[in-house]
Structure formats: C-alpha cells, structure tokens
C-alpha cells in the first residue's frame, strides 16, 4: 500500500499543478493575418495559423518570441485553418525558428491556380518534418487539460448540437444570404475551446453563408465568453445570427491598419446581447475614430507599429483577464452566471 501511495503522489501532484494553472491565449500581431498561440494549463501548445511569409521573417520571429516568453520550447499542434497566404504562408518559415510536433488541417487545398499550388507545395514540404492530423467537424484536437472541438472544416459543420445547445436561434429571421463563397475562407477549420466554464470560439475566416448554415435555424454552439471576430472583421463574415447567437462578453479583432475592421461589422458586433468590450490589434483606418474600440483597448493605434500583442488569461471557473501589451492595461471579467 505504501509503495502504491508513493507511486500515486507524483501523479496527483501533477494533476493538482495543472488545475492550479491558467489557460493562456496570445493574440500575436501579424499585420492582418492570424497567429493565435494557446498554452494549456498542462503546458501544451496550439498555434492557430502563422501569419504571412516574407517581411524578413517578421511573423515567424514574433511567434517564436511569444512562445519563448510563454515558456514553450515547441509547438505541439500547428493548426492551418485554411490555405490563404496570411494564415498558412507563415508556417514554413516558422519551422526554422521552433519545432512543430503535429500539423493539423482540413486536408488538401480546395483552390486551384499557380498561387494556390505554390502555397500548397510549400506547406506540404514542411509536413514531412512532423506528424499530420486531418480533422473534420466533431473531431477533437487532443490537448491535455482543455477540450478543443472542431466546429467547421472544409465547408462542413458539426452534425449535432454540443451539450446544452441546440435551441432555436431567434436572430435568423430576415437575414438574407450573400454571394456564394467558393474560396478557402468558407472551408476554414473553426473550433470551440472549453476550459472548465470558460469558452473561446475561433472560426478563422468563415464566411456569411457558412455562418448562416451553422447557426440557423438552431444554435448548435450555445454561448461563449470570447469570440474571435471572423475574417479580421470583414463584412462578408460575422452574420448577426452567429454573433448574436453566441452572445460573447468580449470580442477580439485580429486586423491590420488597412485590412478588416469594416464599419458595419463594428455595428453588428456592438449590438450583440451582453457584449462588454471589443479588443483589437490595430486601429482600423476604415472604421475611423467613431467606429474603433476605445484607444486603451487597441494594441497598435499607429499604422507603422511595433507589433504589440494582446494576451488573455482564463481560469477554469470562467473568469478571465485581457492585457494590452502597449499600455499594460489589464481588465478582469468575472465568471458568467
């Protein structure tokens, strides 16, 4: 019995240590693409996209430095949400800065043409450096201490509502579809991350009609605490049935000074029931002073910026904080009742 107890104590201590740690989400500025680095309470990592190639390795360096500051020596799971330059383009140069264990995607590129083929070839070349996991809606990315369930992938969506969801969505009525999107945006791998009572929704660049198909007539997701504003805040995404249906308390915008942040998108987001704040990586020139979030919630108010990030830290009880690296402003949000 004493021998068994001695063997169990380290395991119990490790479990308690994980429970005591918080979830970290780092929103890295890649000038209008996406690079969201997640560190789980167990110390594992998920990087969602890697920004652009080129620019003297700017995005790869920013990601690697953020990982270093987070105490990470490798990326356990590298999620390629879709095959566009501002998302998958930065993955090959990133492999020169930090090891990647497992690459995750929806399968081959669905777009054709010279540029698409070059992008696919560069990505496929680095797949040989690690493991490869192809996901579909309903799959889980096997991170310890959190649940990451795939909501959308390759133009498909989850077949059944998540636990506690599935109610009729009252925000669907009267919302018309838009022009059909045949690009990789609509094929984005999107997921819901749950850590205890905290919920974070990231659907990458999912577009309007796919959002309507996901959320109407019933809401299969339920509510979330934090919503990553789709498609950098463009108005061909972020349909009201999605935004109003998931009722985020906080919305985070990964935009560039001249990319995303459409004025009408801000209007839709602000009308979401229960929304408290919008945090954004850049001041949107298109939205102007009245459209943007308050200055203290913007990491990079100037167009020629220093690439400052935003950081979210969440506890399993549902409370979380968001910090702006530019001014060290930290705002706390209590657990949702």
Q: What is the pLDDT of residue 10?
A: 46
* Closest alpha carbon to 210 in 232, 233, 234, 178: 178
Q: What is the pLDDT of residue 20?
A: 52
Q: What is the pLDDT of residue 50?
A: 98
Q: What is the pLDDT of residue 11?
A: 45
Q: Give SS3 for 336.
A: coil
Q: Which residues pair with 149 in a beta bridge?
A: 140, 192
Location of structure tokens 């979030």: 293
Reduced 3-state DSSP string for 92-132 = HHHCCCCCEEEEEECCCCCCCCHHHHHHHHHHHHHHCCCEE
* Closest alpha carbon to 96 in 133, 132, 53: 53
Q: Give SS3 for 186.
A: helix
Q: What is the pLDDT of residue 19?
A: 46
Q: What is the pLDDT of residue 7?
A: 44
Query: Which residue ranges of the chain lie beneath pLDDT 50?
Result: 1-19
> What's the CA gap between 147 and 41, in Å, rounded?
12
Q: What is the pLDDT of residue 337?
A: 78
> What's the CA gap between 149 and 152, in Å, rounded?
9
* Closest alpha carbon to 134 in 200, 189, 207, 214: 189
Instruction: Give the CATH superfamily of 22-333.
Output: Ribonuclease Z/Hydroxyacylglutathione hydrolase-like (3.60.15.10)
> pTM value?
0.93
* Closest alpha carbon to 138 in 167, 159, 115: 159
């Amino acid at each position: 019995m004493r021998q068994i107890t001695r063997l169990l104590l380290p395991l119990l201590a490790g479990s308690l240590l994980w429970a005591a740690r918080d979830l970290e989400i780092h929103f890295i500025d890649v000038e209008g693409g996406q690079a969201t680095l997640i560190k789980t309470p167990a110390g594992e990592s998920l990087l969602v996209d890697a920004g652009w190639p080129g620019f003297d390795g700017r995005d790869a360096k920013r990601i690697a430095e953020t990982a270093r500051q987070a105490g990470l020596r490798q990326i356990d799971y590298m999620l390629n949400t879709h095959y566009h330059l501002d998302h998958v383009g930065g993955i090959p140069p990133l492999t020169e800065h930090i090891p990647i264990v497992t690459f995750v995607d929806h399968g081959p590129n669905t777009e054709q043409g010279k540029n698409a083929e070059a992008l696919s070839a560069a990505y496929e070349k680095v797949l040989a450096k690690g493991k490869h996991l192809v996901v579909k809606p309903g799959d889980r990315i096997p991170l310890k201490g959190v649940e990451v369930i795939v909501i959308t992938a390759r133009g498909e969506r989850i077949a059944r509502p998540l636990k506690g969801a599935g109610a009729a969505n009252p925000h669907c009525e009267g919302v018309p579809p838009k022009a059909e999107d045949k690009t990789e945006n609509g094929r984005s791998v999107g997921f819901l991350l749950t850590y205890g009572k905290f919920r974070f929704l990231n659907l990458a660049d999912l577009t309007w009609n796919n959002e309507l198909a996901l959320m109407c007539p019933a809401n299969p997701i339920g509510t979330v605490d934090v919503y990553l504003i789709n498609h950098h805040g463009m108005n061909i995404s972020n349909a009201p049935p999605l935004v109003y249906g998931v009722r985020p308390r906080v919305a985070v915008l990964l935009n560039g000074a001249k990319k995303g942040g459409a004025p009408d998108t801000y209007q839709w987001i602000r009308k979401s029931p229960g929304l408290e704040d919008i945090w954004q990586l850049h001041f949107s020139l298109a939205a102007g002073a009245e459209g943007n979030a308050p200055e203290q919630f913007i990491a990079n108010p100037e167009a020629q910026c220093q690439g400052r990030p935003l950081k979210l830290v969440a506890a399993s009880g549902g409370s979380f904080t968001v910090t702006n690296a530019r001014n060290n402003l930290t705002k706390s949000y209590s657990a949702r009742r």
